[in-house]
């Protein structure tokens, strides 16, 4: 919700940056969490292709399918009424050709009800971003560590550490802005580089492992809730330890079932 109490629109993202209001984004994959996050006043729900790792247990996002993304995005939209919902376009659904990118992004919006899509890549993707925006499909860009290029980048490591790489990232960000992107996710960048990019743009930057100078922040929901306990990078702060809470609750349930305490009379029908 914005300051006037109405649902956020894509146009509000730029206005939020201009007003100095930080954007709050979290990943979300289902209706239950979408409802909870909306009630907690999250601005943007990102249906990330990270679901391939978080929910399905794969090592990378590369095998995520478009049908998976549409399924989860539709569930998130059914659980939210006012929050912006963006959806990652999976690997090879937008890189092969612009017509294919338009067709696949259009399917996402048409079949899920989401408000826009996110795609990875810099200047070489600007033409694709422009084509989507011209057809009424809002786009968030993604620079820095781009998970769909993890093998080409040599793993999950910080990008933009030298001046040449930083200049290239800045040029990429400006190209995405000129193409019509409404925001850019900056992942695993030195804080100073992310701040430099953020200051140079009129559209907001949303950081993950990119320091405090971005215009907003995003984390994977299961990471920040302490459900994905094996993942503990430097940039992650856990705001809860729900893994412990889940184990405790399930142990209590199991004990009551085995002892015959549950279900009790109050849980039974006459």
Task: Report the Cα–Cα distance between both ends of the chain, in Å, rounded.
Answer: 46
Is the pLDDT at 3 greater than 90? The verdict is: no
Question: At 6, is the pLDDT very low, low, confident or very high (cuts 50, 70, 90)?
Answer: confident
C-alpha distances (whole Å) from 185 to each of 65, 144, 147, 151, 178 are: 21, 8, 12, 20, 16
pLDDT of residue 5: 66
* Region 190-218 average pLDDT: 98
d(CA 242, CA 244): 5
Banded model confidence at residue 217, pLDDT cuts 50, 70, 90:
very high
> Greater confidence, 4 or 207?
207
Q: What angle do CA 16, 125, 201 make, to 5 degrees?
A: 30
Considering only CA atoms, which of 61, 53, 52, 48 is closest in space to residue 147? 61
CB contact set of 148 (below 8 Å; sequence gap of 6+): 49, 61, 62, 90, 91, 120
Give catalytic status of residue 187 as yes or no.
yes
CB atoms under 10 Å from CB of 246, counted, come to 12
Mean pLDDT of 113-123: 98
Reference 119, options 84, 111, 197, 131; nearest CA is 131
Q: How many Å apart are CA 103 and CA 218, to the nearest integer?
A: 27
What domains can be seen in the chain, in order of their start residue? 10-239 (3.20.20.60), 241-270 (no CATH)
Catalytic residue, chosen from 127, 187, 256, 266, is 187
Tell me phi and psi for residue 232, to 5 degrees.
-145, 60
Task: Give residue 97's pLDDT.
Answer: 98
b/e string for 133-142 if b means 16 or more Cβ within 10 A?
beeebbbbbb
pLDDT tens-place string over residues 30-76: 999 999 999 999 999 999 999 999 999 999 999 999 999 999 999 99
**Residue among 84, 140, 129 at smallest CA distance from 102:** 129
d(Cα 118, Cα 67) in Å, to the nearest integer? 16
Residue range 113-124: average pLDDT?
Answer: 98
Radius of gyration of the chain, Cα coordinates, nearest whole angstrom: 20
């Amino acid at each position: 919700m914005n300051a006037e109490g109405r649902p956020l629109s894509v146009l509000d993202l730029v206005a939020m940056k201009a007003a100095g209001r930080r954007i709050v984004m979290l990943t979300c994959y289902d209706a239950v969490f979408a409802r909870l996050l909306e009630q907690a006043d999250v601005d943007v729900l990102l249906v990330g292709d990270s679901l391939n790792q978080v929910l399905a247990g794969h090592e990378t996002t590369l095998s995520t399918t478009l049908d998976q993304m549409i399924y989860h995005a539709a569930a998130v939209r059914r659980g939210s009424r006012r929050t912006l919902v963006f959806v990652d376009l999976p690997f090879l659904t937008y890189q092969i050709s612009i017509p294919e990118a338009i067709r696949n992004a259009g399917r996402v919006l048409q079949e899920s009800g989401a408000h826009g899509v996110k795609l990875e890549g810099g200047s070489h993707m600007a033409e694709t971003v422009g084509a989507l925006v011209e057809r009424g499909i809002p786009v968030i860009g993604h620079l820095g560590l781009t998970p769909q290029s993890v093998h080409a980048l040599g793993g999950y490591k910080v990008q933009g550490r030298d001046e040449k790489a930083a200049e290239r990232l800045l040029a990429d960000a400006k190209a995405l802005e000129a193409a019509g992107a409404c925001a850019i996710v900056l992942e695993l960048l030195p804080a100073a580089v992310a701040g430099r990019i953020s200051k140079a743009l009129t559209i907001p930057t949303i950081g993950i492992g990119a320091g405090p100078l971005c215009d907003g922040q995003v984390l994977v929901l299961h990471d920040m809730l302490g459900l994905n306990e094996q993942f503990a990078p430097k940039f992650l702060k856990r705001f809860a330890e729900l893994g412990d809470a889940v184990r405790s609750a399930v142990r209590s349930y199991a004990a009551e079932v085995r002892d015959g305490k549950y279900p009790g009379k109050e849980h039974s029908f006459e």
